[in-house]
Amino acid sequence: MTAEAAASSGDDLVLVGEITSPHGVQGEVRMNPLMETPTELARLPAVILRYGDGREERRRITSARTHRRQTLLTVAGSGDRNAAEALRGVRVYIRRDQLPTLPPDAYYEGDLLGLSVVTESGQDLGAITQVYFGPANDVYETPLALIPAVEAIVASVDLAARRMVVRDIPGLRKDE
């Protein structure tokens, strides 16, 4: 049970990363990726860049490569450090239909947020408010519980019904 870190922006766009700073003098930028395969951005016809003031631009990513825990991007039209600096803090979005297909039992974070969670016995644990990404497994948080995203605990996920069923296991509730 894994969750991709792409969160929906409320429309048909999905947040896939945030540009943090320029990299070098050739116009490359550093992006904190929110997807497992950010290098795929260079294969898309365009991405949506959303600035802090609400302005949006469609731009092409001409190259994308992984560097440590970040992705280095070259954005069309940003050929020098000054142009790259202007992209600091910009959020990168793609259309939902451009997201890579996930394997079974993997979900996008934006699809999980807001799912109601109940135990097999029918106890309501609230809606998922946060997904924490960990090295061993992800954890889903509701107002009442912290739920490890593992098959032994998560019995089923029904995105169409907006519902997750978890096994009745002591210690899931925050107040236990």
pLDDT for the residue 9 = 46
Mean pLDDT, the chain cut into blocks of 10 residues (176 residues total)? 54 87 92 87 95 94 92 93 94 89 81 94 95 86 95 94 95 84
Residue 81's CB: how many other CB atoms inside 10 A? 16
pLDDT for the residue 11 = 59
- Cite the DSSP H helix spans in the chain: 81-85, 109-112
CA neighbor of 166 nearest in space, from 122, 110, 106: 122
* pTM: predicted TM-score of the whole model, two decimal places: 0.70
pLDDT for the residue 79 = 84
99, 17 Cβ separation under 8 angstroms: no
Q: Which domains does the chain have, with CATH numbers?
A: 2-98 (2.40.30.60), 113-166 (2.30.30.240)
pLDDT for the residue 2 = 56
pLDDT for the residue 120 = 96
Residue 80's CB: how many other CB atoms inside 10 A? 11
What are the percentages of helix, strand and coil residues in the chain, rounded to 5? 10, 45, 45
